[in-house]
Amino acid sequence: MAESPLSVRRIDRADWAALRTIRLEALADAPQAFGSTLDGATRLSARQWRAKVTTSQYFVAERGRAVVGMASGGFNEQRPGTHWLYGMYVTPAERGSLAAKLLVRVVVDWARGDGGDELYLHVASEAPRARAFYEKTGFAVTGEPFTMERDPNVTMYTMKKSIANEFRVARVDAAEFYELRRRVLRENDATKSVEDPRDREPTAIHFAGLLDDRVVVSASFYPTSAPVREDLTSYQLRFMAVDFDAQGHGYGAQVLAVAEEALRDAGAEQLWANARDSALGFYTATGWEIITDSANISAETQLPHHKIAKLLDRETNAASG
């Protein structure tokens, strides 16, 4: 018979008895790993367990309908905006399966959803398997070790992991940009065009900034001679947009830096664009120059624009290796 799949979920009041069962198992199986004791937990009433589930965030891992692990999430009052991972436990038969990894993932998702960018935990010197697991999951020891309150013979370590969304730059097809271009650059107006006739030409190059797998930055480049230095091999930048909730993090500049490097390698000597005036500060801060007497009102947006250009310095590139 095929094995039932593993799943993780946050539990609610109705599940308090399942939480009690797995938590008592954890405290009996690995008493050295936890600050609480089996004795103390056994004495909690049903009302106290229900209150725990209501006021804190508990997650369980299940194989089919059997609870095989648990974890909990907490707010780190000492470092506002960061969170705790508590009470990690996986039943012996499921150690080495994906259960522990899924439990960390669900707590990470919860902490991220609360705006967190770091997750902390305490691990006991007596739990080397737990420490090895945390290390391979991306946690690293931080700060000084301290002794466990309940048992001064046990050394405790604080570990932390960055859970900020991973940002990366990648080449994509123009079609992946249309929704973002429309929302950020065309006030979500479905009647306005968000396509360039050259979008699908093989010489057009589209760079996306991705947060996890969501496109949050678009930048498209088309080989076209520039309004200045017409002798140079130039690319026009169009549809530079950073999604509203991703603005102010330097993502736009990172995409342009990667794009410049790639275009320089492809033989580009200069970039140019017709930029809306509200964005000129962004461009001048990253080495673009405003072309004299280039003020214009864009036909597409009716907004004031200036033409801008940036020389791609070959010597700097060669010198930096």
Residues of the shown chain interacting with ligand COA in the complex, contacts defined by CB under 6 A: 30, 33, 88-90, 95-96, 100, 123, 127-130, 132-133, 136
Residue 75 Cβ vs ligand COA, minimum distance, rounded to whole Å: 18
- For ligand COA, which is the closer residue by CB, 130 or 216? 130
Residue 19 Cβ vs ligand COA, minimum distance, rounded to whole Å: 15
Residue 82 Cβ vs ligand COA, minimum distance, rounded to whole Å: 17
- What angle is formed at CA 214 by the lines to CA 86 and CA 183, rounded to 5 degrees? 130
Residue 165 Cβ vs ligand COA, minimum distance, rounded to whole Å: 24
Are residues 115 and 81 in contact, defined by beta-carbon separation less than 8 angstroms? yes
Contacts of 166 (CB under 8 A, 6+ apart): 211, 212
- For ligand COA, which is the closer residue by CB, 98 or 228? 98
- For ligand COA, which is the closer residue by CB, 30 or 226? 30
Burial of 265 (0-12, 13-18, 19+ CB in 10 A): exposed
Burial of 170 (0-12, 13-18, 19+ CB in 10 A): middle
- For ligand COA, which is the closer residue by CB, 126 or 261? 126
- For ligand COA, which is the closer residue by CB, 37 or 193? 37
Query: What beta strand segments (E) does the chain contain?
Result: 6-10, 57-63, 66-75, 83-90, 118-124, 140-147, 155-162, 167-171, 205-211, 214-223, 234-242, 270-276, 289-290, 296-297, 304-311
- For ligand COA, which is the closer residue by CB, 95 or 150? 95
Residue 122 Cβ vs ligand COA, minimum distance, rounded to whole Å: 7
CA distance 284 to 310: 9
CA distance 205 to 262: 10
Residue 205 Cβ vs ligand COA, minimum distance, rounded to whole Å: 41
